[in-house]
Amino acid sequence: MARQHPRVHKLVLYPQPAAGQNLSEQPILDVLLASDFLDGRILEVDGEPRYLLGEACLTELTFLGCSPHIELDPPRQETEQAAREGRFCHLTLQSYTQPVWRIDPTARPRCPGCRQPMPAPARVGSDTLACPACGEANPAADWRWRNLAGRACLFVDIWGVFTAEAVPNRSLIDRLESATGVKWAYFYVKD
């Protein structure tokens, strides 16, 4: 039987609205390296590059709460397994040819019409959601997701950040917007 991995907490940055089809990953990596958000070290895990965070991530992200636990350095042993499980903060990029929804499994967005929440976790099979309370169908992007979902072709995942544990500072968002020419937002996900 295959080993099940626990769901990993992530802070996800993404271009809006559903942008990213023509975005290259390199300008994003370049601006994150130049600002010391990334420290230049790369781990290869399951054929995927994982970028280690630099010291500037502690100033480019505002950590909330009285004592968040932030681990930037990978452990010396079982590094790949620790990366898969999000036991230390690092960054990956995910690209798709068409916009996709990424939704936290606990997301219960509110209807833009009646403002009632979904009674069960939301799933977006098309770009429209019908409200079980009022019956009104609205574009999924118009629902109030409370930072638990996003739709794009490109995502910047910061692993090991729990839901609402940190928010990106305006300076980080400004750098991404300047490098790509599009607006950026964020959400949290466990996947």
- pLDDT, average across residues 132-145: 93
Instruction: Write the CATH number for 91.
Output: 3.30.310
Q: Is residue 24 part of a domain?
A: yes
pLDDT in tens, 61-97: 998 877 667 788 899 999 999 999 999 999 999 999 8
pLDDT in tens, 161-189: 999 999 999 999 999 999 999 999 999 99
Q: Is residue 17 part of a domain?
A: yes
pLDDT of residue 94: 94
Q: Which residues contact 109 (CB under 8 A, 6 or more apart)?
A: 117, 118, 122, 129, 143, 144, 145, 146, 148, 149
Q: Is residue 125 part of a domain?
A: no
Q: Percent of the chain, pLDDT > 70?
A: 93
Q: Is residue 145 part of a domain?
A: no
pLDDT of residue 128: 87
Question: Residue 33: which domain range?
Answer: 9-107+151-190
Per-residue confidence band for 145, with pLDDT thresholds at 50, 70 and 90: very high
Q: What is the pTM of this model?
A: 0.92
Q: Is residue 30 part of a domain?
A: yes
pLDDT in tens, 24-69: 999 999 999 999 999 999 999 999 999 999 999 999 999 887 766 7
Q: Is residue 45 part of a domain?
A: yes
Q: How far apart are CA 86 and CA 83, in angstroms?
A: 5
Q: Which amino acid is at 160?
A: G
Q: Is residue 155 part of a domain?
A: yes
pLDDT at residue 3 above 70?
no
Number of domains in the chain: 1
